[in-house]
Amino acid sequence: MTHATYADLWLPVSKTRAMVYNVTLVLAGTVLLTLSAKISFMLPFSPVPVTLQTLAVLLIGALLGSRRGSLTVLAYLAEGAAGLPVFAKGSAGMAYLAGPTGGYLAGFAVAAFVTGYLAEKGWDRTFGKTVLAMLLGSGIILGFGVSWLSAFVGIRQAVLAGLVPFIAGDVVKTIAAGILLPSGWKILDRIRSSVL
């Protein structure tokens, strides 16, 4: 059974307006990803910056759905590949995408698709399922990232520098999403009941 995502609730009926709406959502999502990349700091022992991008990617997937969510991330990656300074620390270009953190960026697109798909199946309606969806999305990002990073520093160092330091933060982000998404649906349901 397919459920509406948050973005589906306001989708215009007109095809032209729906296209403009979808393009606007994708572009707004790339802005959110860029801003979440700017909130970053480096750990002295890791080439991977700590950012809010993981949370942004997972929320974009859940809010926009699988297709719009993954398209948003792909558009963001295309902006960075084209030279726009959208990545952490204002980085850009193909060399950055091919560098040590490239796997995490590739994982973003897959994670957005998966969390969006699960939201379309109603997994963003309860705390437990939302947390599972977010953990799966985080696992995808970390899996892609550590696999790619291991080509640069070896698997042991990739796990120590590219996985272990990020687990606690990902758990916090997952719990935050687990609270926010189902709460939003409850609020929307109350608003609808009071209007009807």
Contact 45, 161 (CB under 8 A): yes
Residue 2 has pLDDT above 90, yes or no: no
Which residue range forms the structural domain that includes residue 146? 7-195
Is 116 within a domain?
A: yes
Gap between the Cα atoms of 33 and 11, Å rounded: 22
Is 36 within a domain?
A: yes
Contact 3, 125 (CB under 8 A): yes
> 81-129: per-residue pLDDT in tens?
999 999 998 899 999 999 999 999 999 999 999 999 999 999 999 999 9
Number of domains into which the chain is organized: 1
> Tell me, what's the pLDDT at 196?
61
Is 105 within a domain?
A: yes
CATH number of the domain at 39, please. 1.10.1760.20
Residue 1 has pLDDT above 80, yes or no: no
> 122-178: per-residue pLDDT in tens?
999 999 999 999 999 999 999 999 999 999 999 999 999 999 999 999 999 999 999
Q: Find the Cα–Cα–Cα–Cα dihedral 48, 158, 98, 65, rounded to 10°.
A: -70
- β-sheet bridge partners, residue 41: 50
Is 97 within a domain?
A: yes
Is 183 within a domain?
A: yes
Angle formed at CA 164 by CA 143 and CA 115, multiple of 5 degrees = 40
